[in-house]
A and B are shown apart, each in its own frame.
Chain A
Amino acid sequence: MADEGAVGAEGVAFEMDVEAGKIREFARATLSSNAAYMAGEHPVIPPTFLTTTFFWEERAPGRNPWPLVHLDPQRGMHAEQEYVFHGPPPRAGTRLVCRSRIEGVFHKVGRRGGRLTFAVMVTEFRDATTGALVAEARMTGVETEKPPEAGP
Protein backbone atom coordinates (compact mmCIF):
# COMPACT_ATOMS: atom_id res chain seq x y z
CA MET A 1 0.00 0.00 0.00
CA ALA A 2 1.53 3.30 -1.10
CA ASP A 3 2.30 5.87 1.55
CA GLU A 4 0.71 9.20 0.60
CA GLY A 5 2.72 10.82 3.38
CA ALA A 6 5.75 10.55 1.09
CA VAL A 7 4.42 13.31 -1.16
CA GLY A 8 6.78 16.28 -0.96
CA ALA A 9 9.67 14.21 0.38
CA GLU A 10 13.00 15.31 -1.14
CA GLY A 11 16.19 13.38 -1.57
CA VAL A 12 19.62 14.74 -0.74
CA ALA A 13 21.18 16.49 -3.77
CA PHE A 14 24.02 14.55 -5.41
CA GLU A 15 26.50 15.05 -8.22
CA MET A 16 26.66 13.06 -11.45
CA ASP A 17 29.55 13.37 -13.90
CA VAL A 18 28.50 12.85 -17.51
CA GLU A 19 31.20 10.56 -18.92
CA ALA A 20 32.03 9.73 -22.55
CA GLY A 21 32.67 6.02 -21.91
CA LYS A 22 29.34 5.65 -20.12
CA ILE A 23 27.57 7.40 -22.98
CA ARG A 24 29.11 5.01 -25.52
CA GLU A 25 28.28 1.97 -23.37
CA PHE A 26 24.69 3.17 -22.96
CA ALA A 27 24.30 3.98 -26.67
CA ARG A 28 25.56 0.51 -27.61
CA ALA A 29 23.18 -1.11 -25.11
CA THR A 30 20.26 0.76 -26.69
CA LEU A 31 21.38 -0.44 -30.15
CA SER A 32 22.74 2.88 -31.39
CA SER A 33 25.88 3.33 -33.43
CA ASN A 34 25.30 7.05 -34.02
CA ALA A 35 28.58 8.95 -34.42
CA ALA A 36 27.20 11.71 -32.15
CA TYR A 37 27.61 9.22 -29.28
CA MET A 38 30.47 7.08 -30.53
CA ALA A 39 32.95 9.71 -31.73
CA GLY A 40 34.59 12.73 -30.15
CA GLU A 41 35.60 13.62 -26.61
CA HIS A 42 32.35 15.31 -25.62
CA PRO A 43 29.45 13.25 -26.99
CA VAL A 44 25.91 14.35 -26.19
CA ILE A 45 23.80 12.03 -24.00
CA PRO A 46 21.10 9.74 -25.43
CA PRO A 47 17.50 10.77 -24.54
CA THR A 48 17.05 8.18 -21.75
CA PHE A 49 20.66 8.30 -20.44
CA LEU A 50 19.79 10.15 -17.23
CA THR A 51 18.41 6.87 -15.89
CA THR A 52 22.08 6.14 -15.04
CA THR A 53 21.63 8.20 -11.87
CA PHE A 54 21.34 4.68 -10.40
CA PHE A 55 25.15 4.62 -10.20
CA TRP A 56 25.38 7.97 -8.45
CA GLU A 57 22.49 7.85 -6.02
CA GLU A 58 23.46 4.52 -4.51
CA ARG A 59 26.78 5.88 -3.23
CA ALA A 60 25.18 7.46 -0.18
CA PRO A 61 21.84 7.02 1.59
CA GLY A 62 19.03 9.55 1.29
CA ARG A 63 19.56 10.48 -2.35
CA ASN A 64 16.62 8.54 -3.73
CA PRO A 65 13.28 9.25 -1.98
CA TRP A 66 11.39 6.65 -4.08
CA PRO A 67 11.48 3.88 -1.42
CA LEU A 68 9.53 6.22 0.91
CA VAL A 69 6.45 5.66 -1.30
CA HIS A 70 6.51 1.94 -0.41
CA LEU A 71 4.98 0.61 -3.62
CA ASP A 72 4.77 -3.19 -3.27
CA PRO A 73 7.68 -4.57 -5.33
CA GLN A 74 5.63 -7.69 -6.22
CA ARG A 75 2.84 -5.58 -7.72
CA GLY A 76 4.82 -2.53 -8.79
CA MET A 77 5.69 -1.64 -12.38
CA HIS A 78 7.34 1.25 -14.19
CA ALA A 79 4.34 2.83 -15.96
CA GLU A 80 5.71 5.95 -17.58
CA GLN A 81 9.00 7.84 -17.90
CA GLU A 82 9.62 11.33 -19.23
CA TYR A 83 12.73 13.41 -19.88
CA VAL A 84 12.62 17.12 -20.68
CA PHE A 85 15.71 19.02 -21.87
CA HIS A 86 15.86 22.81 -21.51
CA GLY A 87 18.23 23.20 -24.45
CA PRO A 88 20.62 20.72 -26.07
CA PRO A 89 21.13 17.63 -23.89
CA PRO A 90 24.22 17.73 -21.68
CA ARG A 91 27.54 16.49 -23.03
CA ALA A 92 30.37 14.43 -21.56
CA GLY A 93 32.44 16.59 -19.26
CA THR A 94 29.41 18.21 -17.63
CA ARG A 95 28.90 17.81 -13.90
CA LEU A 96 25.22 17.73 -12.98
CA VAL A 97 23.64 18.30 -9.58
CA CYS A 98 20.62 16.03 -9.25
CA ARG A 99 17.77 16.26 -6.81
CA SER A 100 14.68 14.05 -6.61
CA ARG A 101 11.33 14.67 -4.94
CA ILE A 102 8.06 12.77 -4.67
CA GLU A 103 5.58 14.85 -6.65
CA GLY A 104 2.40 12.91 -6.08
CA VAL A 105 0.54 9.73 -5.25
CA PHE A 106 -2.86 9.17 -6.87
CA HIS A 107 -5.38 6.43 -7.61
CA LYS A 108 -7.31 5.30 -10.66
CA VAL A 109 -9.66 2.46 -11.47
CA GLY A 110 -8.02 0.13 -14.01
CA ARG A 111 -9.60 -1.30 -17.17
CA ARG A 112 -10.44 -4.52 -15.35
CA GLY A 113 -11.91 -2.73 -12.35
CA GLY A 114 -8.96 -3.03 -9.99
CA ARG A 115 -7.67 -0.05 -8.04
CA LEU A 116 -4.34 1.25 -9.35
CA THR A 117 -2.04 3.39 -7.25
CA PHE A 118 0.37 5.70 -9.10
CA ALA A 119 3.35 7.55 -7.67
CA VAL A 120 5.42 10.20 -9.44
CA MET A 121 9.02 11.21 -8.70
CA VAL A 122 10.64 14.22 -10.37
CA THR A 123 14.41 14.62 -10.61
CA GLU A 124 15.94 17.99 -11.51
CA PHE A 125 19.37 18.14 -13.17
CA ARG A 126 21.30 21.40 -12.85
CA ASP A 127 24.64 22.34 -14.35
CA ALA A 128 27.03 22.30 -11.38
CA THR A 129 28.94 25.32 -12.71
CA THR A 130 26.13 27.65 -13.78
CA GLY A 131 23.24 26.34 -11.67
CA ALA A 132 21.04 26.35 -14.78
CA LEU A 133 18.25 23.78 -14.96
CA VAL A 134 19.39 21.43 -17.74
CA ALA A 135 16.90 18.59 -17.61
CA GLU A 136 14.07 17.04 -15.65
CA ALA A 137 13.06 13.40 -15.31
CA ARG A 138 9.57 12.33 -14.30
CA MET A 139 9.10 8.70 -13.29
CA THR A 140 5.63 7.22 -12.77
CA GLY A 141 5.31 3.90 -11.00
CA VAL A 142 2.09 1.93 -10.64
CA GLU A 143 0.99 -0.67 -8.12
CA THR A 144 -1.76 -3.02 -9.27
CA GLU A 145 -4.33 -4.58 -6.95
CA LYS A 146 -3.49 -8.07 -8.24
CA PRO A 147 -0.08 -9.35 -9.41
CA PRO A 148 0.52 -8.48 -13.07
CA GLU A 149 -0.25 -11.18 -15.65
CA ALA A 150 2.61 -13.59 -16.11
CA GLY A 151 4.01 -15.57 -18.99
CA PRO A 152 5.45 -15.00 -22.43
Chain B
Amino acid sequence: MSARWEELRPGATVPERRVGPLTRTDFVRYQGASGDMNPVHHDEVFARAAGYEAPLGVGMFHAGVMATWATDWLGPENVRGFKVRWKEPVWPGDVLTITGLVARQTEKDGEQRVEVEIVCTRQTGGIAAQATAVFVVPPATS
Protein backbone atom coordinates (compact mmCIF):
# COMPACT_ATOMS: atom_id res chain seq x y z
CA MET B 1 0.00 0.00 0.00
CA SER B 2 1.74 3.16 -1.17
CA ALA B 3 0.94 6.78 -0.49
CA ARG B 4 -1.10 8.65 -3.10
CA TRP B 5 0.02 11.63 -5.16
CA GLU B 6 -2.54 14.00 -3.59
CA GLU B 7 -1.17 13.15 -0.12
CA LEU B 8 2.45 13.75 -1.09
CA ARG B 9 2.52 17.53 -1.38
CA PRO B 10 5.69 19.36 -0.28
CA GLY B 11 6.01 19.10 3.48
CA ALA B 12 4.13 15.78 3.66
CA THR B 13 5.70 13.40 6.16
CA VAL B 14 5.24 10.23 8.22
CA PRO B 15 6.28 9.50 11.81
CA GLU B 16 9.98 9.41 12.66
CA ARG B 17 11.86 6.18 13.27
CA ARG B 18 14.12 5.93 16.30
CA VAL B 19 16.86 3.27 16.46
CA GLY B 20 19.30 2.41 19.20
CA PRO B 21 21.09 2.58 21.50
CA LEU B 22 23.32 1.24 18.71
CA THR B 23 25.54 -1.70 19.54
CA ARG B 24 28.68 -3.15 18.05
CA THR B 25 26.42 -6.04 17.01
CA ASP B 26 24.38 -3.68 14.80
CA PHE B 27 27.61 -2.64 13.05
CA VAL B 28 28.91 -6.22 12.69
CA ARG B 29 25.59 -7.54 11.35
CA TYR B 30 25.59 -4.78 8.73
CA GLN B 31 29.22 -5.39 7.84
CA GLY B 32 28.63 -9.10 7.36
CA ALA B 33 25.63 -8.37 5.15
CA SER B 34 27.38 -5.71 3.06
CA GLY B 35 30.83 -7.26 2.74
CA ASP B 36 32.63 -4.16 4.05
CA MET B 37 34.79 -5.70 6.78
CA ASN B 38 36.83 -2.58 7.63
CA PRO B 39 38.03 -3.39 11.19
CA VAL B 40 37.68 0.23 12.35
CA HIS B 41 33.95 -0.51 12.73
CA HIS B 42 34.22 -3.57 15.01
CA ASP B 43 37.78 -4.19 16.24
CA GLU B 44 38.33 -2.17 19.43
CA VAL B 45 42.12 -2.58 19.29
CA PHE B 46 42.27 -1.46 15.65
CA ALA B 47 39.91 1.49 16.29
CA ARG B 48 42.01 2.73 19.25
CA ALA B 49 45.21 2.45 17.20
CA ALA B 50 43.50 4.61 14.56
CA GLY B 51 42.86 7.27 17.21
CA TYR B 52 39.23 6.51 18.12
CA GLU B 53 37.92 5.67 21.57
CA ALA B 54 35.45 3.09 20.25
CA PRO B 55 34.55 1.39 16.96
CA LEU B 56 33.30 4.01 14.52
CA GLY B 57 29.72 3.61 13.31
CA VAL B 58 29.32 2.35 9.73
CA GLY B 59 28.03 5.24 7.61
CA MET B 60 26.39 2.86 5.15
CA PHE B 61 24.54 1.19 8.05
CA HIS B 62 22.61 4.28 9.05
CA ALA B 63 22.30 5.27 5.38
CA GLY B 64 20.56 1.91 4.96
CA VAL B 65 18.26 2.63 7.91
CA MET B 66 17.37 5.99 6.33
CA ALA B 67 16.53 4.11 3.12
CA THR B 68 14.41 1.65 5.13
CA TRP B 69 12.39 4.52 6.60
CA ALA B 70 11.77 5.91 3.10
CA THR B 71 10.90 2.59 1.43
CA ASP B 72 8.46 1.69 4.22
CA TRP B 73 6.65 4.93 3.37
CA LEU B 74 6.85 5.08 -0.42
CA GLY B 75 7.38 1.48 -1.52
CA PRO B 76 10.61 -0.46 -2.19
CA GLU B 77 9.82 -0.98 -5.89
CA ASN B 78 9.23 2.76 -6.43
CA VAL B 79 12.70 4.05 -5.53
CA ARG B 80 14.65 5.67 -8.38
CA GLY B 81 17.41 7.44 -6.50
CA PHE B 82 19.07 7.68 -3.12
CA LYS B 83 21.92 10.03 -2.26
CA VAL B 84 23.45 10.34 1.19
CA ARG B 85 26.06 12.68 2.63
CA TRP B 86 27.67 12.02 6.00
CA LYS B 87 28.16 14.94 8.36
CA GLU B 88 29.49 13.61 11.67
CA PRO B 89 30.45 10.22 13.12
CA VAL B 90 28.13 7.83 14.93
CA TRP B 91 29.27 5.75 17.93
CA PRO B 92 28.08 2.70 19.89
CA GLY B 93 25.38 3.83 22.33
CA ASP B 94 24.00 6.48 19.99
CA VAL B 95 20.25 6.76 19.49
CA LEU B 96 19.44 7.88 15.95
CA THR B 97 16.23 9.51 14.82
CA ILE B 98 15.24 9.35 11.16
CA THR B 99 12.92 12.10 9.93
CA GLY B 100 12.04 13.42 6.51
CA LEU B 101 9.51 15.08 4.27
CA VAL B 102 8.54 15.60 0.66
CA ALA B 103 10.65 18.43 -0.76
CA ARG B 104 9.04 18.58 -4.22
CA GLN B 105 6.81 16.79 -6.69
CA THR B 106 8.09 16.37 -10.25
CA GLU B 107 7.25 14.58 -13.48
CA LYS B 108 9.74 12.70 -15.62
CA ASP B 109 9.05 10.47 -18.63
CA GLY B 110 5.34 10.71 -17.88
CA GLU B 111 5.83 9.45 -14.31
CA GLN B 112 4.91 11.34 -11.18
CA ARG B 113 7.76 11.49 -8.71
CA VAL B 114 8.53 12.88 -5.29
CA GLU B 115 11.86 14.03 -3.95
CA VAL B 116 12.18 13.31 -0.24
CA GLU B 117 14.70 14.87 2.14
CA ILE B 118 15.78 12.59 5.00
CA VAL B 119 17.81 13.50 8.08
CA CYS B 120 19.52 11.20 10.58
CA THR B 121 20.01 13.00 13.91
CA ARG B 122 22.05 11.80 16.93
CA GLN B 123 20.77 12.10 20.51
CA THR B 124 23.13 15.08 20.87
CA GLY B 125 21.18 16.96 18.20
CA GLY B 126 24.11 16.58 15.82
CA ILE B 127 23.25 15.60 12.25
CA ALA B 128 24.93 12.33 11.32
CA ALA B 129 23.75 12.21 7.71
CA GLN B 130 21.39 13.82 5.22
CA ALA B 131 19.88 12.08 2.21
CA THR B 132 17.72 12.83 -0.78
CA ALA B 133 15.60 10.05 -2.25
CA VAL B 134 13.50 9.96 -5.41
CA PHE B 135 10.40 7.75 -5.66
CA VAL B 136 7.85 7.34 -8.42
CA VAL B 137 4.25 7.55 -7.25
CA PRO B 138 2.18 5.00 -9.21
CA PRO B 139 -1.33 6.10 -10.20
CA ALA B 140 -3.96 5.07 -7.66
CA THR B 141 -5.59 1.80 -8.72
CA SER B 142 -8.78 2.06 -6.69
Contacts and interface: CB of A to CB of B under 8 A. Distances in A.
Nearest to A140: B85
Most chain A C-beta atoms within 10 Å of own C-beta, residue among B50, B64, B77: B64
Interface residues of A, number: 42
Contacts of B53: 150-152
Contacts of B33: 22, 25-26, 28-30, 52
Tell me whether chain B's interface is mostly helix, strand or loop, or mixed.
mixed
Given A30-B68, A48-B63, A150-B51, A81 B76 contact: no
A52 B35 contact: yes
Contacts, number: 121
A43 to B, nearest CB: 8
Interface in B69-89: 70-72, 75-86, 89
A46 B71 contact: yes
A81 B71 CA distance: 17
A25 B94 CA distance: 23
A85 interface: yes
B36 A30 contact: no
Interface of A: 22, 25-32, 34, 36-37, 44, 46-48, 51-55, 58, 74, 77-89, 147-152
Interface of B: 19, 29-30, 32-36, 50-54, 59-61, 63-65, 67-68, 70-72, 75-86, 89, 91-94, 133
